[in-house]
Amino acid sequence: MATQRFDAVVVGAGFAGLYMIHLLRGEGLSVKGLERAGGVGGTWYWNRYPGCRCDVESLDYSYQFSDPLQQEWVWTERYSAQPEILAYAEHVATRFELRPLIQFETRVTSAHYDEHTHRWTVATDKGDVFDTRFLIMATGCLSAANTPAFPGLRDFKGRTFHTGLWPQNGVDFTGRRVGIIGTGSSAIQSIPLIAAQAADLTVFQRTANFSVPARNRPSDPAAVARVKSNYPDYRRRARQQAAAFGPDNPRGLDSVLAATPAQRQRRFEEYWQLGGFMFLGAFGDLMLNEAANAYAADFVRSKIREMVKDPQTAELLSPKGIIGCKRLCADTHYYETYNRANVHLVDVSQHPVERFTTRGLVAGGVEYTFDDVVFATGFDAMTGSLLRMDIRGKNGVSLNEKWAAGPLTYLGLMIAGFPNLFTMTGPGSPSVLANMVTGVEQHAEYIHDVITWLRKENANAVEARIDAERDWVQTVNVRSQLTLYPRCNSWYLGANVPGKPRVFMPYIGFPDYTAKLDDVRAEHFAGFELQR
Ligand code: N01
């Protein structure tokens, strides 16, 4: 196949890729989008499992770059379900005429940099070769599905599904005996719906997870009208929040340690009723201090005991550690589902899932037989989608070598030794700890600005300086150590994937990150260097 030449190749057509393509085309660059899926939407294309919905409210989890777009789109629920978010991504692709620039069902297999031409050669599984100056990885933080390598998996005669790679047309579990492995967000959302349909559902839980009721409901027209009457101001205030959403949400700034037992109980109850992530905003120190956090964790455990009738099951479902250390889950009737006669919980914390057989799986020496097994086993987060490609920078050094001890980036945007390669919401940026749509817009605009600067300066390439990268990685680490986040085996640390280096990957605090980007820009993109 003949090599095709572009100014920019954007890998991924989720929220990040769509806006990046739009911006670069607007700058007059020739742009090619490459997407492994059959359509746009990224994570919302793949995660079609029952119950899949966002845990950031719809009015926040949407683009802000176009006021007509944010005014015209109607979200029907407080927390949008996957089909509506996918429809929104499709609408954006249509409205901004992005599809003609994107090649679907095409997976990038390798990307190699040539320091003489300052260009990247990108190859795909379809045999295409692209020659591009800029390569932008809009590949998502949670898009490399993780299926543990259970022995015998291939022998299993039933159907298997991964929540993150769900079949396009859904799955009918009516009358079937289903097993599900995992109890993270995807499992917690899908279990109530699978249980309602299947004949029998067995949940294999390795670590109990904290979940709070989402309290999803239809959108409130008055609240929507209020936000839309001054959306730019709402967005501006949202960007000042630690996670870039919910500027009007109540937040307790005082310490739980200073509250009386009655005050604590009242406040936790009030925030529990609000639903979703707001619960962790009940007091100001819940994520900063282990003793403070324990009060919130105890409160949720007491709720689990109220909701789950069988005391032994309630005990197994009660998480032991720090609430919010692993990503907090938001559910609709998750715990109550265990009161159903057709739902069984198997604790695999001490006796892991050992292997699969033709009929099911073996855990703790017992064989469980199933028609279907669902893997709700998560993702090789933040780095997986990049490291599954063969990416090579200067001197042929591979990204796998460079990141052998954990990801190294400057601002989560660029990697020293990999000129003209940009990572959107990469490790070292707030990414998964903030509103992802706001994060991708911020990165798309910043990458656009860096490229505009390079072109104005008539340079051939831009690269993160190694010292800037080293300092930034250190900053990200130090910041995480000030919180409770590093104290559990979360995917933020890569702990869910055997052999992955244990490094806290996201940067905590959207407003400080924004301030840093602004400072860098004001100092003529300090830390980035141009090559001519
Ligand atoms: O994945 P997870 P997820 N044997 O990694 C278990 C976003 N998201 O897809 O905790 C047995 O959280 C594993 O056990 P353990 C959100 O950011 C958002 O659910 O490692 N079990 C865990 O229970 C979320 O955090 C939304 O001990 C095994 C589960 O599998 C992120 O995606 C909805 C195992 C994996 O949980 C990932 O969520 C869905 C093994 N060998 C997802 N290997 C919303 O917006 C793994 N597990 C609401």
Query: 46, 202, 432, 496: which to mutate for ligand 1, most atoms within 8 A of CB?
Result: 496
Question: Cα of 378 to ligand 1 centre, how many Å?
Answer: 4
Question: Cα of 329 to ligand 1 centre, how many Å?
Answer: 10
Residue 233 has a pLDDT of: 98
Residue spans of beta strands (DSSP E) within 39-142: 102-103, 108-114, 119-124, 129-137
Q: From the CB of 183, is ligand 1 less than 6 Å away?
A: yes
- The tally of CA atoms less than 13 A away on the side-chain side of residue 352 is 6
Neighbours of 520 (CB within 10 A): 19
Residue 1 has a pLDDT of: 81
Q: From the CB of 181, is ligand 1 less than 6 Å away?
A: yes
Bridge-based pairing of strands 360-363 and 353-356 is: antiparallel
Query: 185, 209, 353, 500: which to mutate for ligand 1, most atoms within 8 A of CB?
Result: 185
- Which protein residue's CA is at the shortest distance from atom 34 of ligand 1? 377
- Which protein residue's CA is at the shortest distance from atom 46 of ligand 1? 377
Residue 508 has a pLDDT of: 96
- Which protein residue's CA is at the shortest distance from atom 15 of ligand 1? 207
Bridge-based pairing of strands 372-375 and 177-181 is: parallel
Using a 10 angstrom Cβ sphere, with 0-12 exposed, 13-18 middle and 19 or more buried, the burial of residue 274 is: middle
Q: pLDDT tens across 218-241, in order?
A: 999 999 999 999 999 999 999 999
First to last CA, the chain: 31
- The tally of CA atoms less than 13 A away on the side-chain side of residue 94 is 6
Query: 215, 377, 489, 502: which to mutate for ligand 1, most atoms within 8 A of CB?
Result: 377
Q: 94-123 in b/e burial notation, b at 16+ Cβ within 10 A?
A: eebebbebbbeebebeebebeeeebbbbbb
Question: Cα of 191 to ligand 1 centre, how many Å?
Answer: 13
Tell me the pLDDT of the chain (532 aa) as tens digits.
Answer: 899 999 999 999 999 999 999 999 999 999 999 999 999 999 999 999 999 999 999 999 999 999 999 999 999 999 999 999 999 999 999 999 999 999 999 999 999 999 999 999 999 999 999 999 999 999 999 999 999 999 999 999 999 999 999 999 999 999 999 999 999 999 999 999 999 999 999 999 999 999 999 999 999 999 999 999 999 999 999 999 999 999 999 999 999 999 999 999 999 999 999 999 999 999 999 999 999 999 999 999 999 999 999 999 999 999 999 999 999 999 999 999 999 999 999 999 999 999 999 999 999 999 999 999 999 999 999 999 999 999 999 999 999 999 999 999 999 999 999 999 999 999 999 999 999 999 999 999 999 999 999 999 999 999 999 999 999 999 999 999 999 999 999 999 999 999 999 999 999 999 999 999 999 999 999 999 999 9
Q: From the CB of 163, is ligand 1 less than 6 Å away?
A: yes
Q: Ligand 1, closest atom to CA 352?
A: 4
Residue 247 has a pLDDT of: 97
Predicted TM-score (pTM) of the model is 0.97
Give CA angle at 141 (135, 143), nearest 5°: 95
Question: Cα of 452 to ligand 1 centre, how many Å?
Answer: 39
CA 299 vs. chain centroid, Å, equals 27
Q: pLDDT tens across 85-117, in order?
A: 999 999 999 999 999 999 999 999 999 999 999
- Which protein residue's CA is at the shortest distance from atom 24 of ligand 1? 185
Q: Residue 5 has what DSSP assignment?
A: E
Q: pLDDT tens across 238-291, in order?
A: 999 999 999 999 999 999 999 999 999 999 999 999 999 999 999 999 999 999
Residue 141 has a pLDDT of: 97
Q: What are phi and psi for residue 208, nearest 5 degrees?
A: -65, 145
Residue 103 has a pLDDT of: 98
Q: Ligand 1, closest atom to CA 349?
A: 27
Q: pLDDT tens across 302-339, in order?
A: 999 999 999 999 999 999 999 999 999 999 999 999 99
Residue 524 has a pLDDT of: 96
As beta bridge partners, residue 2 has none
Q: From the CB of 488, is ligand 1 less than 6 Å away?
A: no
Q: From the CB of 187, is ligand 1 less than 6 Å away?
A: yes
